[in-house]
């Protein structure tokens, strides 16, 4: 009979062989956590390899993602569509076995992990999603949302600051179906961690409000099984299982040392490990009886069928809820969304409110929120400034969602953790999450915002107080380079609207952008309404459009602007007209969307024959060079801001009609 240790050794062997073949990778963690993984995946984790997206599957997250071969070996052995050839091409171009797990590339990988600690944060998002979705849909006798989230993490994850942010929230939110297993091997890249990591980790998590199971021998399968059973038996607290392991377990000369952490073991050490483990098989060879013991295809299908039968009974009892559940899990928007959202934008254009775009954002949430029960949002302790709460907002996380309507999350001052949790909410399914802070604090959240685009995750990041227009708080709070930084993230879309109409359009675009993130940038100060035709309103969704053209003459220059500077461009255009200079004004709320338009459209907005161009934005000037060219000019920021009332700052830094006029005249040849 196949033993547990033999099953775990199959994982160890595949990890050693794949890393050796790639001449790159991290064999130590997979070898150290193989015994724990064997127990979790064979005795507890509910999943179906034939349907990796089954709605009620347990979620597994590898936060210490450098040990990716652990997950790839598990996926391969249990029957996911990850054949041995993929393991043989670990870390190679176009393979499904990247250096760190990637959700977009590998079936069975729930989230893209690599930056340490973010997997734990995503797992908190998964667990929060399970809790809130259950409150939305479960009814007496019908628990159709009922699954656990398991996350592996290591010393590096716990050293990262994000772990403090999200572990604190998980305890506060009483996420009882979250189980974290800590690989306490005492080793990081630089060696034994006791020189730089002496935290009392169990006490720390107990202080957060977690259930902590201490002193588990990570190589004793029965001890691991007992710990996981205890974790899943209680439901009022998340659980941290502290498992003591030996990194590189089985490699006789390198186990327990940093040499096994992040480099191939070498052929001699692998041969010695095979002998010590009693694994007498060639590289990448798995005996049939090992495959048979690991195979989860039949069990997985049975798990899903049990749930399908339960869901059929639920649908019979609650047909409308069942249809809504299926819609939300499929990521489809309500049938009336397109018409009603467009009608709201048309209404705004007709009414012409002149408000700060952060207020316009809140107005949009008031309009769109009732249409979208999947919308769940929150702010990093700035709800009253970001204006992210709307009329229907109800606390979703701390016990007030029993009526099934919870949709608002209080994150506290935790920008990084908030953003990574939002990624988890999006990846779980059933939600469109948004988070919010000041634009200047996107620096704290940036790596998680980057991961939104890389994963990708349908998360909406709201950033208010968008420029030196913030005023007296000064340069520490005035974003200068932040929009350029966010725009440079591949697969990210940044919208900076100029009035209430563009604000609503930006929300509409972000909500409709399936499977990828958007950043919505809103002002503190009031913005004037811009007149538009019906076609111009439609063209907002193309990212950039002609807002104003001379009536009776050909334009001599083009002014391109975003946000609060669109009105400045319009004022300069009118003043130049009185001086006999004809100017086109282009509003460019989203450069990424505009750049994706057909060449014919882009040429129609920014024709190549007109090289006299000036861009105006109260942010880093250099970003706009690609639109104005060497012959153009940018009225922008080249320094940090200053502490003064906003009108004084705009004048001081050259955001005046006179300055824009001078720039236009300089570019006209």
> In the block, which residue shows the tokens 């050693």?
16
Q: How many CB atoms lie within 10 A of CB 17?
A: 25
Q: Is 334 annotated to bind ligand?
A: no
In this structure, is residue 531 part of a structural domain? no
> In the block, which residue shows the tokens 């013991």?
293
Residues 17 and 154 in one domain: yes
Residues 213 and 84 in one domain: yes
Question: How far is residue 42 from each of residues 178, 221, 289, 594, measured CA to CA in Å?
Answer: 18, 11, 15, 49
Burial zone of 618 (CB within 10 Å; 0-12 exposed, 13-18 middle, 19+ buried): buried
pLDDT tens sequence across 173-195: 999 999 999 999 999 999 999 99
Q: Which residues pair with 243 in a beta bridge?
A: 183, 216
In the predicted model, what is the mean pLDDT of residues 408-422? 97
Closest among 617, 315, 631, 661 to 487, alpha carbons compared: 617
Q: Is 393 annotated to bind ligand?
A: no
Residues 476 and 550 in one domain: no
In this structure, is residue 316 part of a structural domain? no
Q: Of 492, 521, 550, which marks where a domain is finished?
A: 521
pLDDT cut 70: percent of the chain above it = 99
SS3 278: coil
In this structure, is residue 294 part of a structural domain? yes
What pLDDT sits at residue 403?
Answer: 55
Q: CA-to-CA distance for 636 and 542, rounded, in angstroms? A: 24
Residues 410 and 509 in one domain: yes
pLDDT tens sequence across 341-366: 999 999 999 999 999 999 999 999 99
SS3 434: strand
Tokens for 268, please give them. Answer: 């001699």
In the predicted model, what is the mean pLDDT of residues 394-413? 78
In this structure, is residue 321 part of a structural domain? no
Residues 138 and 207 in one domain: yes
Which CB contacts under 8 angstroms, 24+ apart, belong to 200-208?
A: 201/158, 201/240, 201/242, 202/240, 202/242, 204/167, 205/167, 205/171, 205/240, 208/167, 208/168, 208/170, 208/171, 208/172
Residues 494 and 563 in one domain: no
449 within 8 A of 439, measured Cβ to Cβ: no
In the predicted model, what is the mean pLDDT of residues 28-38? 98
Q: How many residues does the chain have?
A: 669
Residues 161 and 290 in one domain: yes
In this structure, is residue 630 part of a structural domain? yes
In the predicted model, what is the mean pLDDT of residues 491-510? 98
What pLDDT sits at residue 370?
Answer: 97
Q: What is the CATH number of the domain that holds 563?
A: 3.40.50.920
What pLDDT sits at residue 135?
Answer: 93
Q: Is 485 annotated to bind ligand?
A: no
Closest among 222, 247, 336 to 26, alpha carbons compared: 247
Q: What is the CATH number of the domain that holds 478?
A: 3.40.50.970
What pLDDT sits at residue 404?
Answer: 56
* ∠ Cα 615 617 622 (to 5°): 70
Q: Of 274, 301, 328, which marks where a domain is finished?
A: 301
Helix, strand, coil in percent for the chain, rounding step 5 = 45, 15, 40
pLDDT tens sequence across 531-574: 999 999 999 999 999 999 999 889 999 999 999 999 999 999 99
Q: How many CB atoms lie within 10 A of CB 6?
A: 17
User: Is a pLDDT exceeding 60 seen at residue 400?
Assistant: no
pTM greater than the 0.85 cutoff: yes
Question: How far is residue 471 from each of residues 477, 495, 645, 660, measured CA to CA in Å?
Answer: 9, 22, 5, 21
Q: Is 358 annotated to bind ligand?
A: yes
Q: What single string gives the DSSP state of each residue in 564-578?
A: THHHHHHHHHHHHHH
Q: Is 215 annotated to bind ligand?
A: no
pLDDT band at 401 (very low <50, low <70, confident <90, very high): very low
In this structure, is residue 55 part of a structural domain? yes
pLDDT cut 90: percent of the chain above it = 97
User: Is a pLDDT exceeding 70 seen at residue 402?
Assistant: no
- Known catalytic residue at 38: no
Question: How far is residue 337 from each of residues 369, 408, 594, measured CA to CA in Å?
Answer: 11, 21, 23
Residues 556 and 498 in one domain: no
In this structure, is residue 391 part of a structural domain? yes
What pLDDT sits at residue 399?
Answer: 55
DSSP 8-state secondary structure symbol assigned to residue 43: I
In the predicted model, what is the mean pLDDT of residues 262-291? 98
Q: CA-to-CA distance for 488 and 119, rounded, in angstroms? A: 24
Residues 404 and 553 in one domain: no
Q: Of 521, 551, 579, which marks where a domain is finished?
A: 521
Helices (H), 147-247: 155-159, 161-172, 201-208, 221-233
581 within 8 A of 618, measured Cβ to Cβ: no
Query: Which element (helix H / strand E) includes 618?
Result: strand 613-620
> In the block, which residue shows the tokens 């950039």?
544
pLDDT tens sequence across 85-97: 999 999 999 999 9
Structural domain span for residue 269: 4-301
- Show the 3-state SS of 465-507: CCCHHHCCCCCCCCCCCHHHHHHCCCCCEEECCCCHHHHHHHH
Residues 122 and 167 in one domain: yes
SS3 376: strand
Given the residues 38, 165, 374, 415, the one annotated as active site? 415
Q: CA-to-CA distance for 130 and 176, rounded, in angstroms? A: 10
Residues 29 and 84 in one domain: yes
pLDDT tens sequence across 56-113: 999 999 999 999 999 999 999 999 999 999 999 999 999 999 999 999 999 999 999 9
Closest among 503, 501, 483 to 493, alpha carbons compared: 483
> In the block, which residue shows the tokens 């920021």?
637
Q: CA-to-CA distance for 502 and 509, rounded, in angstroms? A: 10
182 backbone dihedrals φ, ψ, rounded to 5°: -90, 120
Residues 579 and 464 in one domain: no
What pLDDT sits at residue 237?
Answer: 97
Q: Is 116 annotated to bind ligand?
A: yes
The total number of structural domains that make up the chain: 3
Q: Is 318 annotated to bind ligand?
A: no
In this structure, is residue 144 part of a structural domain? yes
What pLDDT sits at residue 213?
Answer: 98
pLDDT band at 498 (very low <50, low <70, confident <90, very high): very high
């Amino acid at each position: 009979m196949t033993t547990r240790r033999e099953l775990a050794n199959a994982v160890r062997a595949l990890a050693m062989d794949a890393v050796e073949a790639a001449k790159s990778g991290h064999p130590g963690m997979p070898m150290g956590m193989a015994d724990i993984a064997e127990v979790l995946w064979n005795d507890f984790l509910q999943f179906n390899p034939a349907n990796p997206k089954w709605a009620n599957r347990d979620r597994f997250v590898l936060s210490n993602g450098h040990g990716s071969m652990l997950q790839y070996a598990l996926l391969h052995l249990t029957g996911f569509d990850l054949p041995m050839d993929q393991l043989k091409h670990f870390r190679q171009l176009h393979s499904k076995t990247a250096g760190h797990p990637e959700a977009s590339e590998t079936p069975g990988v729930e989230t893209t992990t690599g930056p340490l600690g973010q997997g734990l944060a995503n797992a908190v998002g998964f667990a929060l999603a399970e809790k809130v979705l259950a409150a939305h849909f479960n009814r007496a006798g019908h628990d159709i949302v009922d699954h656990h989230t398991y996350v592996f993490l290591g010393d590096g994850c716990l050293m990262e600051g994000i772990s403090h942010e999200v572990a604190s929230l998980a305890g506060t939110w009483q996420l009882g179906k979250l189980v974290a297993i800590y690989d306490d091997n005492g080793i990081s890249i630089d060696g034994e961690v006791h020189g730089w990591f002496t935290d009392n980790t169990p006490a720390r998590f107990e202080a957060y409000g977690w259930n902590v199971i201490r002193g588990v021998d990570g190589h004793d399968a029965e001890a691991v099984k007992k710990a996981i059973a205890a974790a899943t038996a209680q439901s009022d607290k998340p659980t941290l299982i502290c498992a003591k392991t030996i990194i590189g377990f089985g490699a006789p000369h390198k186990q327990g040392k940093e040499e096994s952490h992040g480099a191939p073991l070498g052929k001699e050490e692998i041969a010695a490990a095979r002998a010590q483990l009693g694994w007498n098989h060639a590289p990448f060879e798995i005996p049939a009886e090992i495959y048979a013991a690991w195979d989860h295809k039949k069990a997985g299908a049975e798990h899903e069928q049990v749930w399908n039968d339960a869901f059929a009974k639920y649908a019979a009892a609650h047909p409308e809820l069942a249809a809504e559940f299926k819609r939300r899990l499929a990521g489809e928007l309500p049938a009336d969304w397109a018409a009603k959202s467009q009608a709201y934008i048309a209404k705004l254009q007709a009414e012409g409110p002149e408000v700060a775009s952060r207020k316009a954002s809140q107005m949009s949430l008031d309009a769109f929120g009732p249409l979208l029960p999947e919308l769940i949002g929150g702010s990093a302790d700035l709800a009253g400034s970001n204006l992210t709460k709307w009329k229907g907002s109800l606390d979703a996380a701390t016990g007030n969602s029993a009526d099934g309507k919870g949709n608002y999350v209080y994150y506290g001052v935790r920008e990084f953790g908030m953003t990574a949790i939002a990624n988890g909410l999006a990846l779980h399914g059933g939600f469109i999450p948004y988070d919010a802070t000041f634009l200047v604090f996107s620096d704290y959240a940036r790596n998680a915002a980057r991961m939104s685009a890389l994963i990708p995750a349908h998360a909406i990041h709201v950033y208010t107080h968008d420029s030196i227009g913030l005023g007296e708080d000064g340069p520490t709070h005035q974003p200068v380079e932040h929009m350029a930084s966010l725009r440079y993230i591949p697969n990210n879309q940044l919208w900076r609207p100029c009035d209430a109409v563009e604000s609503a359009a930006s929300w509409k675009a972000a909500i409709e952008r399936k499977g990828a993130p958007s950043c919505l940038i809103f002002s503190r100060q009031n913005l004037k309404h811009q007149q538009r035709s019906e076609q111009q309103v439609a063209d907002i969704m193309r990212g950039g459009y002609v807002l104003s053209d001379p009536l009776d003459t050909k334009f001599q220059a083009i002014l391109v602007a975003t946000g609060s500077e669109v009105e400045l461009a319009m004022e300069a255009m009118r003043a130049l007209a009185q001086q006999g200079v004809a100017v086109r004004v282009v509003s460019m709320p989203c450069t990424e969307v505009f750049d994706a338009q057909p060449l014919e459209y882009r040429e129609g907005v920014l024709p190549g024959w007109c090289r006299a161009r000036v861009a105006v934005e109260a942010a880093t000037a250099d970003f706009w060079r690609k639109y104005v060219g060497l012959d153009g000019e940018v009225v922008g920021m080249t320094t940090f801001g200053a502490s003064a009332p906003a009108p004084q700052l705009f004048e001081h830094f050259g955001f005046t009609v006179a300055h824009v006029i001078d720039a236009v005249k300089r570019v006209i040849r």
